[in-house]
Amino acid sequence: MADVAAAAGVSHQTVSRVLNNHPAVSAQTRRRVHEAIAGLGYRRNVVARALATGTSHIIGVIVSNTTLSGPSGALLAIEQAARTHDYWVAMVGLQSQEPSEMTDAISHFVDLGLDGIIVVTNTEAAKDAALAACGATPTVLVTSARTPPAYSTVDVDQAGGARTVMTLLRGLGHTRIAHVGGPDGDLHAAARLGAWREGLPADVDADALFATGDWSSGSGYRAAMEVLARPALPTAVFAANDRMAFGVLRALSERGLSVPGDVSVVGFDDIEGSECSIPPLTTIRQNHNALGRAAMDLLLEAMERKPARSHRVPAELIVRASTGAARRGT
Amino acid sequence: MADVAAAAGVSHQTVSRVLNNHPAVSAQTRRRVHEAIAGLGYRRNVVARALATGTSHIIGVIVSNTTLSGPSGALLAIEQAARTHDYWVAMVGLQSQEPSEMTDAISHFVDLGLDGIIVVTNTEAAKDAALAACGATPTVLVTSARTPPAYSTVDVDQAGGARTVMTLLRGLGHTRIAHVGGPDGDLHAAARLGAWREGLPADVDADALFATGDWSSGSGYRAAMEVLARPALPTAVFAANDRMAFGVLRALSERGLSVPGDVSVVGFDDIEGSECSIPPLTTIRQNHNALGRAAMDLLLEAMERKPARSHRVPAELIVRASTGAARRGT
DNA sequence: GTCTGACGTGTGAACGCTAACATGAGCAGT
DNA sequence: ACTGCTCATGTTAGCGTTCACACGTCAGAC
């Protein structure tokens, strides 16, 4: 910067003013400085600027379970939204459910002097660890967990999406609707499970229609096989995510049951490939881009010390060929 | 830091030495400083340290097309590998194929004073833009592109994987093997296409057995429908990725052709869900973790100014139910 | 003609750390 | 007793910005 100042015949402070678009610089000086910058190929040192201002224009994003399409889609959408606001993203993908890993990641981000942090998490424990560690750094959570009112949150309307599924299936005449749920402790799994149970007729034995998976397609296959081995066959299966729904489709296929003729199947997420399963899968689409934009907007508000608020992104039902009317008499 | 120094009754420099595990500090002083640090809850300012040392312990990762499972899997694996070496990751997901977007991202990373950059890209243009912008910052490319010898590269052995597929199919007696290729300009698509063409018997008309997609399952479906509409049916289809293979499976199912009875199908990537397609998909597994570890190792070497070298991660054939012997007489 | 204010610019310190050198104590060898 | 070495620690000067303030200059008002 000193070189630029010398080349333009001004002080380093004037160069700084030009760089920051400070109004009190004459047009002529401004031009001379710009020429000197271009001539010397000068680039401002971002680290020194961060040290002097205490602001880095970088936000941190922490995602809990990156092997899933949901969190990783959210990460990428957030990064995209951040960049449209001229923020850059540092990220950590947690490998375990250990709260300590979350704590370490957050406190490193705080040390780094990041302008803000967005935490994408699906468990209460991870959320609590994040809030305990984030201190005064503006933080937004992408989660379905309840949070103290001081923190903004964003999530896709999980329960609403799941209720839409149940409304669709009930409207098609289904009553014995099985559910392949996600893992215990996962808040999305819990929200989808809750909506399923509430959408079931009161006289149906929910426990007999329920099995649990770990989000993987293999676990969906096994869960479906387990349910199909029980006395009363379901007429529809609502899987808590598309991958498990793939496993359900395969299980039904192997058992010689047609979809949707014998059994209807619904998933959740609308991942790539759902439109080309056999048959194409009815599912709930999560709008990651809207989620990412909302998270970034709320973080910007938090950085301006505006009051926290929460935003819920609606889920969209995508009806494909895997759902049809319930068979009479079953 | 001055407070800690005062509390421990030493100079700030001694505190710095303790923090950096400098040997020339007596055990007693070291203990007193540690106590003072704990007592005051002191945390070192990472930005100031970066300014003083010129090193940030952060690496940048740029991924070209984050909507695909490959690049996003690579990103997450790299992040994981980086953290085991005590490096943190700043990331950018490019939204377009514009070289200028790559250039902007890289030059911002350079400005940021990152210790190194890893670029995950599948196109020549993006690779060239990256190399033009990275300057003196150590850079490793995750790509199949040819690069100047000054740069280390890592990739999964695309051609080798695709050759394995052809060997398998030929061994099962297939000769009319169709290929659903990836988009033009994509280097992975080109490598897989090349291996397919070379693995075909000389007297088979390759053009009649080829169609192109854009990696999406829908495009795989359309490409398969196009090939199936031609006079001579293939006995096997090799799709350039699993998602397009899903589309192929659906197309075959709708045309009433059984898999693998009438037609065998092979994909590439082994994405989640491939084990539960109908039928489960034979495919090539890409080891993202090995890729990420190798990329990080090479970057560490580059940061130490060691000579560049390249590493190729082997691809693994996963045989599932979608492949079987070719029908006699077809 | 002096005062006032706005405007453009320069000066010094500060941000919080580390690198390089300086200092001083302790000890062994001559 | 003096030299020379090692070891532990302190002192000073940066790293490259921005911030707070001081300083001129010029216009307009009285």
* Residue ranges of domains in chain A: 2-44, 56-156+287-313, 158-286
- Evaluate if the CB of B217 falls below 7 Å from strand D: no
CA angle, residues A302, A307, A310, in degrees to nearest 5: 80
pTM: 0.94
Q: Does B50 touch chain A (CB under 8 A)?
A: yes
| Tens-place pLDDT, residues A286-318 | 999 999 999 999 999 999 999 999 999 999 999
d(CA A40, CA A25): 21
Strand D footprint nucleotides (protein C-beta < 7 Å)? 7-12, 14-20
CA atoms within 13 A on the CB side of B302: 25
On whether the CB atoms of residues A282 and A320 are closer than 8 A, the answer is yes
The mean pLDDT of B25-52, rounded to a whole number, is 90
- Evaluate if the CB of B29 falls below 7 Å from strand D: yes
Q: Does A52 touch chain B (CB under 8 A)?
A: no
Ramachandran class of B216: left when φ > 0, alpha when ψ lies in -120 to 50, beta otherwise? beta
Q: Does the pLDDT value for residue B329 go beyond 70?
A: no
d(CA B74, CA B251): 30
Q: Which nucleotide is nearest to B52 (CA to C1')?
A: D15
**In CATH, which of 3.40.50.620, 2.60.120.260, 3.40.50.300, 3.40.50.2300 is domain A56-156+287-313?**
3.40.50.2300
Q: Which two tokens stand for residue A148?
A: 């103290």
Q: Which nucleotide is nearest to A42 (CA to C1')?
A: D16
Q: Does the pLDDT value for residue A329 go beyond 60?
A: no
- Amino acid B5 CA to nucleotide C19 C1' distance, rounded Å: 18
Tell me how many residue pairs between chain A and chain B have CB atoms under 8 A apart. Answer: 134
Q: Does the pLDDT value for residue A330 go beyond 70?
A: no
d(CA A92, CA B76): 9
The CATH code of the domain at B56-157+287-313 is: 3.40.50.2300
Q: Does A304 touch chain B (CB under 8 A)?
A: no
Q: What architecture does CATH give domain A2-44?
A: Orthogonal Bundle (1.10)
Please report residues of A whose CB lies closer than 8 A to that of B81: none
For B158-286, which CATH superfamily applies? Response regulator (3.40.50.2300)
Q: Does the pLDDT value for residue A109 go beyond 70?
A: yes
> How far lies B110's CA from each of A115, A137, B133, B139, in Å?
20, 26, 8, 10
DSSP labels for B231-249? SSPPSEEEESSHHHHHHHH
Question: A15 Cβ partners below 8 Å, 6+ apart?
Answer: A1, A4, A5, A8, A33, A36, A37
d(CA A300, CA A306): 9
On whether the CB atoms of residues A266 and A177 are closer than 8 A, the answer is no
- Number of DSSP helices (H) and strands (E) in chain B, helices first: 12, 12
Q: From the list A48, A112, A275, which residue is nearest B217 (CB)?
A: A275
On whether the CB atoms of residues A276 and A240 are closer than 8 A, the answer is no
Please report residues of A whose CB lies closer than 8 A to that of B90: 58, 88-91
The mean pLDDT of B79-86, rounded to a whole number, is 95
Q: Does the pLDDT value for residue A77 go beyond 90?
A: yes
* B56-157+287-313 and B158-286, same CATH topology: yes
| Tens-place pLDDT, residues B139-173 | 999 999 888 999 999 999 999 999 999 999 999 99
d(CA A278, CA A247): 11
- The phi, psi pair for A59, rounded to 5°, reads -115, 155
d(CA B307, CA B196): 34
